[in-house]
């Protein structure tokens, strides 16, 4: 893998966030309602699933999700994939060895999941096929380098447990929000997180994501949405899906 492929300015931002304040401070504090929804649904899934679990996290970031799962005393294996080298370094150091969750991280683009060798490699690392696949607030970033998000989920679906769960969360600006209102959100985001704000066209709206996931072979079991926080209008959605049975 050629990591220099990932060296664009936004990737450097993620590296910076991982090394400095950490993703929790940047994202979870700023988008508190989105974080609360994701944590609540993930907790519920973890509680109701049979352990040990095999978890694949696409665009995993610096490991707060792995820590959240390990902190719930879940046994099993977790593999995080992300293009940010610093995030993966942090993930790999983050979970103490005594925890029941064994965590691995790979510096890779989500696009790798479409390649024929990836499912074998994932099985080797996780000790079997994934029971849960997570992709949280990463699609709008992934599509900047690889626009075929549908292919990533279709390939993931083929190589996961048939009773498994896919959890996909991301943001979008509602259609009825004017460009001026959206600009206010973007200014808020820049000022409060330091992140370069994604424009409206960079996000996948909820209805479009629903189609992407359906075409990738998934059936929606539950979908929720909330405003990311009270100060801004950007919406966070969270799909919980299973593989469609024919
Ligand atoms: C907003 S962060 C979300 C991180 C994590 N899922 C979370 O909930 O905190 C988006 C992540 O997507 C990663 N990313 C961007 N392009 C990617 C790609 N092509 N493949 C995998 N990850 C990518 C970034 O490095 C970043 O860590």
- Interatomic CA distance for residues 228 and 188, integer angstroms: 12
- Using only C-alpha atoms, the chain has a radius of gyration, in whole angstroms, of 17
Residues with CB under 6 A from ligand 1: 11, 14, 23, 27, 59-61, 64-65, 81-84, 87, 109-110, 136-138, 141-142, 145-146
* CA 53 to centroid of ligand 1, rounded, Å: 22
* CA 60 to centroid of ligand 1, rounded, Å: 6
pLDDT score recorded for residue 7: 63
* CA 72 to centroid of ligand 1, rounded, Å: 23
* CA 170 to centroid of ligand 1, rounded, Å: 11
- Interatomic CA distance for residues 13 and 6, integer angstroms: 12
HSE, side-chain direction, 13 A CA sphere, residue 122: 30
Domains, the chain, in order of start with CATH, read 3-243 (3.40.50.150)
Q: Is 173 exposed, middle or buried (0-12, 13-18, 19+ CB in 10 A)?
A: buried
Model pTM score: 0.96
- Mean per-residue pLDDT over the chain, rounded: 95
**Statement: residue 244 has pLDDT above 70:** yes
* Closest ligand 1 atom to 15 CA: 25
Distance separating the N- and C-terminal Cα atoms of the chain: 36
Q: Which residue among 141, 143, 146 has the greatest number of ligand 1 atoms within 8 angstroms of its CB, and so is best to mutate?
A: 141
**Statement: residue 3 has pLDDT above 70:** no
Tens of pLDDT, residues 86-103: 999 999 999 988 899 999
User: With bands split at pLDDT 50, 70 and 90, how would you rate the model's confidence at 245?
Assistant: confident
* CA 222 to centroid of ligand 1, rounded, Å: 23
**Statement: residue 172 has pLDDT above 60:** yes
pLDDT score recorded for residue 4: 53
- Interatomic CA distance for residues 56 and 79, integer angstroms: 5
* Closest ligand 1 atom to 24 CA: 9
- Interatomic CA distance for residues 52 and 31, integer angstroms: 30
């Amino acid at each position: 893998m050629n990591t220099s492929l990932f060296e664009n300015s936004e990737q450097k931002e993620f590296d910076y966030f991982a090394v400095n304040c950490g993703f929790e401070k940047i994202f979870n504090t700023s988008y508190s309602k989105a974080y609360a929804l994701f944590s609540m649904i993930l907790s519920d899934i973890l509680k109701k699933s049979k352990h040990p679990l095999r978890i694949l996290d696409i665009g995993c970031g610096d490991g707060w999700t792995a820590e959240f799962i390990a902190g719930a005393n879940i046994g099993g294996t977790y593999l995080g994939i992300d293009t940010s080298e610093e995030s993966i370094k942090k993930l790999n150091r983050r979970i103490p060895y005594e925890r029941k969750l064994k965590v691995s991280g790979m510096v890779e683009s989500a696009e790798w999941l479409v390649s024929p060798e990836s499912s074998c490699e994932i099985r080797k690392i996780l000790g079997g096929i994934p029971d849960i696949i997570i992709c949280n607030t990463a699609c709008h970033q992934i599509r900047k380098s690889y626009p075929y998000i549908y292919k990533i989920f279709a390939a993931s679906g083929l190589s996961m447990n048939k009773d498994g769960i896919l959890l996909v969360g991301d943001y979008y600006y509602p259609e009825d929000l004017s460009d001026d209102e959206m600009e206010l959100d973007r200014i808020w985001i820049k000022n409060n997180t330091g992140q370069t704000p994604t424009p409206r066209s960079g996000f996948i709206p909820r209805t479009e994501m629903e189609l992407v996931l359906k075409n990738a072979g998934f059936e929606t079991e539950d979908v929720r949405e909330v405003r990311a926080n009270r100060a801004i209008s950007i919406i966070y959605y969270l799909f919980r899906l299973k593989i469609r049975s024919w």
